[in-house]
Amino acid sequence: MEKLNLNPEAPEPGRVDRHLHALDYVRNELGNDEKKFESIIRNVQTLQVAIPSWALGTGGTRFGRFPGGGEPRNLEEKIEDIALLSELSRATQSISLHIPWDIPKDTTAIRQKLGHYGLFIDSVNSNTFQDQEGQLHSYKFGSLCHLDNDVRKQAIAHNLEVIEYGKALGTSSLTIWLSDGSNFPGQHHFRKVYEKTLDSLKFIYQALPEDGSLLLEYKPYEPNFYSMVIPDWGTSYTLCQACGKKANVLVDLGHHLPNTNIEQIVSRLLHLGRLGGFHFNGSQYGDDDLTTGVVKPFQLFLIFLELVFGKAEGLDNPKVAYMIDASHNTKDPLEDLLDSLENIRTAYAKALLVDREKLVQAQEKNDVVEAEKILRNAFLTDVRPLVTEARIRAGGFWDPLGTFRGQDIRKKLISIRGEKSLATGL
Ligand code: RM4
Ligand code: MN
Ligand code: MN
C-alpha cells in the first residue's frame, strides 16, 4: 500500500490576502524587526515533533474503547498515516515505536518505506508494563524493580532486544517508562526497589551504542496507586545521574499531579544538563488524554519559554527530543494530532516573541508588574499567521485540518482498511 494521495489545496478566495494582512500585524508587533520576524519563522519550521506508533488508533480507558474505523492495521500503515500528517503540517518527520506493539518484521523494508517519505525512527520504547503471550515471568509485581532475579533478567533482556531493533532501524535512542510500583502500604521496600531498578538500568545503559541515549520517564500514579518506583523528576534524575551522561530525564506533561509547576521542573533539568525530552499531551486532572495546549496553553508557553531562554543563555544540554504522547479517546486520532502539532508550534512561536533582555531587566528591578506584562503581551499576541507562514513556506497546507476533512481522508482510509480495523496500542 502507498499512502493516500492528497489533492492540491485551493485556498478559499481572499485567504491569501487575509493572511498577508494578518502577517503584517505580527510584523508590526515586532516593531518591524525583519530579522527577528524571519528568525521566528525559521525556528518554528525547525520544531519537528515525533508521533508515537501507538497514538494512531483510537485510545481507550479501562471502561471501553470507541474505535472510529480506518485505523492502521500494521506498522506500514502507521508510517503512511504519519507521512500524511507530515505532508499536511510539515511539523513532524519521525515516529516512535513501542516494542512489542510494533515489531518490524523486515527492518530493511521499513527503512526503505521511511526513507521514501522522508521520515525516520525517533526512539524505540520498551514495554514491561504488560505481559506478552508465552512470556515466562509475569510483570504483575514489577519488572526492572523486581526482587526476583529471573523477572528482572527477563525485563532487562527485553530492553536489550529493543535497543537492537532500534539499531536495525537507525535509531540509538531508547525510551523507558516503568509502571513498577505498589498499590498497598507495606507492599514495597522503597529503598530496595529503587536499588534494583538502578542496577537494571545500569545494565541496560551499558548496552547502548556509543552515540546512544536513554530517556527515562516518571509518573506519580497509575497503574499503581499507592507508590510508583519512579514517581517524579527527582527520582528519574538521580537514576540518570548514576547511569551516566547518555541517560536523561523525559518530561511527559501528563505525568504530574494537578497544578505542578512543570515549567520550573523544565528549568531545573535544563540547568542540570539532564533534560532529555518531552512527551506532549494535555490534561485537566492527570495523565494524557487531552489535546496538547488546549486546557493549559499558558503553561505550554511558559515551558517553551524555558527552552528558548535556556538556549539563549547557553545551557549545555543534550538534543531535546519532542514527541506527542496522547491517547485519542474522543477525537479522530489524526485530527487530534494535527491540532496538537499546531498548538505546540503556536506556544513555541509565542515564547520566541518574548524580549528576554527586557524581562531580565524587570526581574532585576523587582518590577513584578512589568515582568508579568512582558509575558502576557507575548502570550496574547496572535501568532497563528506566523505558524501558517512557516508551514506554507515549507510546502505544507494552508489548512491541514480543513483539508483532512474536505478531502474525506478518514472515509477513504475506512474504505481501504475497513470499519473494524484496530491499531495496536492501549
Ligand atoms: C505511559 C507513558 C509512556 C507510554 C505509555 C503507553 O503512560 O507515557 O510514554 O509509552 O504510556
Ligand atoms: Mn509518555
Ligand atoms: Mn503517559
Whether residue 372 is predicted with pLDDT greater than 90 in this model: the reply is yes
Of ligand 1's listed atoms, the one at least distance from the Cα of 52 is 10
Which grid cell is 105?
518484521
**Ligand 3 centroid – CA 204 distance (Å):** 22
Whether residue 248 is predicted with pLDDT greater than 80 in this model: the reply is yes
* Cβ(315) – ligand 1 distance below 6 Å: no
**Ligand 2 centroid – CA 81 distance (Å):** 20
Q: Which of 159, 252, 327 to mutate to test the pocket of ligand 1 (most atoms within 8 A of CB)?
A: 252
How far, in Å, CA of 77 to CA of 71, rounded? 8
Q: Do residues 183 and 224 make contact, with C-beta atoms less than 8 angstroms apart?
A: yes
CA separation (Å) from 169 to 104, 128, 149? 9, 21, 30
**Ligand 1 centroid – CA 375 distance (Å):** 32
Whether residue 317 is predicted with pLDDT greater than 90 in this model: the reply is no
- As a residue count, the chain comes to 426
* Cβ(280) – ligand 1 distance below 6 Å: no
Q: Write down the pLDDT at residue 387.
A: 98
Q: Write down the pLDDT at residue 254.
A: 96
Q: Do residues 45 and 390 make contact, with C-beta atoms less than 8 angstroms apart?
A: yes
**Ligand 1 centroid – CA 403 distance (Å):** 30
Strand partners, 96: 52
How far, in Å, CA of 231 to CA of 237, rounded? 11
- State pLDDT tens for residues 340-350: 999 999 999 99
Q: Above pLDDT 70, what percent of the chain?
A: 100
**Ligand 1 centroid – CA 378 distance (Å):** 32
Q: Write down the pLDDT at residue 179.
A: 98
Q: State pTM to two decimals.
A: 0.97
* Cβ(77) – ligand 1 distance below 6 Å: no
**207 burial level (CB within 10 Å; 0-12, 13-18, 19+):** middle
Burial 343-366 (b: 16+ CB within 10 A, else e): bbbbbbbbbbbbeeeebeebeeee
Of ligand 1's listed atoms, the one at least distance from the Cα of 426 is 6
- State pLDDT tens for residues 381-407: 999 999 999 999 999 999 999 999 999
Of ligand 1's listed atoms, the one at least distance from the Cα of 54 is 6
Strand partners, 95: 51, 121
Whether residue 245 is predicted with pLDDT greater than 80 in this model: the reply is yes
* Cβ(177) – ligand 1 distance below 6 Å: yes
**Ligand 1 centroid – CA 113 distance (Å):** 26
Of ligand 1's listed atoms, the one at least distance from the Cα of 219 is 7
Residue whose CA lies nearest to ligand 1 atom number 5: 177
Whether residue 426 is predicted with pLDDT greater than 80 in this model: the reply is no
Q: Do residues 92 and 51 make contact, with C-beta atoms less than 8 angstroms apart?
A: yes
Q: Considering just the CA atoms, what is the radius of gyration of the chain in Å?
A: 22
* Cβ(252) – ligand 1 distance below 6 Å: yes
- State pLDDT tens for residues 212-228: 999 999 999 999 999 99
**Ligand 2 centroid – CA 358 distance (Å):** 35
**Ligand 2 centroid – CA 425 distance (Å):** 13
- pLDDT category of residue 423 using cuts at 50, 70 and 90: confident
**Ligand 3 centroid – CA 138 distance (Å):** 21
Residue whose CA lies nearest to ligand 1 atom number 2: 177
The average confidence (pLDDT) of the chain is: 96
Ligand nearest to the CA of 324: 2
Q: What is the mean pLDDT of residues 35-52?
A: 98
* Cβ(87) – ligand 1 distance below 6 Å: no
What HEC string does the chain produce? CCCCCCCCCCCCCCHHHHHHHHHHHHHHHCCCCHHHHHHHHHHHHHCCCEEEHHHCCCCEECCEECCCCCCCCCHHHHHHHHHHHHHHHCCCCEEEEECCCCCCCCHHHHHHHHHHCCCEEEEEECCCCCCCCCCCCCCCCCCCCCCCHHHHHHHHHHHHHHHHHHHHHCCCEEEECCCCEECCCCCCCHHHHHHHHHHHHHHHHHCCCCCCEEEECCCCCCCCCCEECCCCHHHHHHHHHHHCCCEEEEEECCCCCCCCCHHHHHHHHHHHCCEEEEEECECCCCCCCECCCCCCHHHHHHHHHHHHHHHHCCCCCCCCEEEECCCCCCCCHHHHHHHHHHHHHHHHHHHHHCCHHHHHHHHHCCCHHHHHHHHHHHHHCCCHHHHHHHHHHCCCCCCHHHHHHHCCHHHHHHHHHCCCCCCCCC
How far, in Å, CA of 337 to CA of 85, rounded? 8
Torsion of CA 31, 35, 37, 40, to 10 degrees: -130
Q: Write down the pLDDT at residue 98.
A: 96
CA separation (Å) from 295 to 218, 257, 281, 291? 22, 15, 10, 8
Taking a 5 Å cut-off on Cβ, the residues next to ion ligand 2 are: 252, 279, 325
- State pLDDT tens for residues 142-188: 999 999 999 999 999 999 999 999 999 999 999 999 999 999 999 99
Long-range contacts of 391-395 (CB under 8 A, 24+ apart): 391/89, 391/90, 391/91, 393/41, 393/45, 394/45, 394/90, 395/90
Whether residue 315 is predicted with pLDDT greater than 90 in this model: the reply is yes
Which grid cell is 62?
479501562
